[in-house]
Amino acid sequence: MRVVPFSDGHVEPAGRLLAARHAEHRRATPLLDPRFAAVPDAAAEVARVWASEGASGSVVLEPDDEVAGYLLGAPRDSTTWGPNVWVEAAGLAVSRVELFRELYASSAQQWVDAGRTAHYVVVPAHDESVAWAWFGLGFGQQHVHALRDVPPRARRGAADARVRRALVDDIAALALLDLELPRHQGASPVFSSGAIPSVAEAETEWAATLPDHHFGCFVAESDGVVVGSAVGCPLELSSLHSPLMRPAHAGFLGFAAVFAQYRGHGLGRALGEAVLDWCAESGFAAVATDWRATNLQSSRAWPRLGFEPSFLRLHRVVGY
């Protein structure tokens, strides 16, 4: 067995491994797009990752030079993630789980030598042995991606008088709520480094978003005052959901926030149900959402709305 740098000739055999992994994943998570269980589509996804700027990685070759596993990472141009390398969902597949350790040992040296010490890897959520292999490499769980089917119209939340569609007159309140989520996630136990926008920036974005028919925007009220908001949209608008992670024609619960003093009264759930209703009205076949694993409120609220993990983002910072 040899570990060698990934090259163009490895794309197709890596695609075969990815197609087999995706077929197995779909047995546990059937909402995932079936087309990536076919080798041509899976290989195209590997080729897309390999074509990313700065992509690098490794393959494991059996004694007969058959590819038994591959790992591909590429940096993201964002200060939020530090000096980073991302192994996205299509960037890894193996014939035997223990090969991840050999692949990472080879690839990570390249990344650290380049000064990229913040490593992120997205793995299927259904196979605990995969997560444990990465835990044994110093990674911990950072984020959860989850899916559910689209429920029938007229859920309980649809009749909740506290939730309604957002209006232009709500922009000032919506802008303040845009700041609420990053503030919440910047505190314990999440400690996210995500930037907090200015109110003016948030107001400008809302002025563009509200008229856009791709978005379903909702607010929650308490005594006539807007105290929460949620947004739905097509899943392909989420940059953190690569094609392999997206069911065909899926909606996305992309944002939800309630001011701290109004939490614990069911407003978050009602907002989530409003987005689910909007997804049903829009004809989506599935709904996705995601949350930081250390966000205690989200980790409780979204599973209670029927979302089940599909992928996990794992994270390691080298040198500590």
* Token pair listed for 175: 């802008």
* Average pLDDT rounded to a whole number, residues 6-19: 98
The DSSP code sequence of 109-166 is HHHHHTT--EEEEEEESS-HHHHHHHHTTT-EEEEEEEEEEPPPSS-GGGG-TTEEE-
The burial class, CB within 10 Å (0-12 / 13-18 / 19+), for 79 is exposed
pLDDT, residue 169, reads 96
Q: Are 125 and 143 in contact (CB under 8 A)?
A: no
pLDDT, residue 159, reads 53
| 152 — pLDDT class (breaks 50, 70, 90) | confident
pLDDT, residue 276, reads 96
Please determine, for residue 241, whether its predicted confidence score (pLDDT) is greater than 70. Answer: yes
| 319 — pLDDT class (breaks 50, 70, 90) | confident
| 155 — pLDDT class (breaks 50, 70, 90) | low
Residue 273's SS3 state is helix
Cis peptide before 75 (omega within 30 of 0): no
Using one digit for the tens of pLDDT, what is the confidence trace for 270-287? Answer: 999 999 999 999 999 999
Q: Kindly list the domain boundaries of the chain, sorted by start residue.
A: 2-138, 149-308
Residue 272's SS3 state is helix
pLDDT, residue 1, reads 87
- Mean pLDDT of the residues in the chain: 94
* Average pLDDT rounded to a whole number, residues 6-32: 98
Q: Are 57 and 73 in contact (CB under 8 A)?
A: yes
16: Cα separation from own chain's centroid = 24
Nearest to 226 by CA among 195, 180, 185, 188: 180
CA–CA separation, 231 vs 278, rounded Å? 10
Please determine, for residue 87, whether its predicted confidence score (pLDDT) is greater than 90. Answer: yes
pLDDT, residue 263, reads 92
Using one digit for the tens of pLDDT, what is the confidence trace for 156-203? Answer: 454 577 999 999 999 999 999 999 988 998 899 999 877 788 999 999
Nearest to 165 by CA among 274, 266, 92, 56: 274
CA–CA separation, 109 vs 320, rounded Å? 16
Question: 84: which strand partners?
Answer: 118
Q: Find all residues with CB under 8 Å of 51, minimum gap 6, and list them.
A: none
Task: Return the CATH superfamily for domain 2-138.
Answer: Gcn5-related N-acetyltransferase (GNAT) (3.40.630.30)
- Report how far apart, in Å, the C-alpha atoms of 29 and of each of 127, 154, 246 are: 11, 26, 11
* Average pLDDT rounded to a whole number, residues 257-271: 93
Size (the chain), residues: 320
Please determine, for residue 266, whether its predicted confidence score (pLDDT) is greater than 70. Answer: yes
| 58 — pLDDT class (breaks 50, 70, 90) | very high
pLDDT, residue 193, reads 79
* Average pLDDT rounded to a whole number, residues 200-218: 95
Cα distance between the two ends of the chain: 31
Pick the CATH number of 149-308 from 3.40.640.10, 3.30.70.270, 4.10.140.10, 3.40.630.30: 3.40.630.30
Using one digit for the tens of pLDDT, what is the confidence trace for 92-140? Answer: 999 999 999 999 999 999 999 999 999 999 999 999 999 999 999 999 9
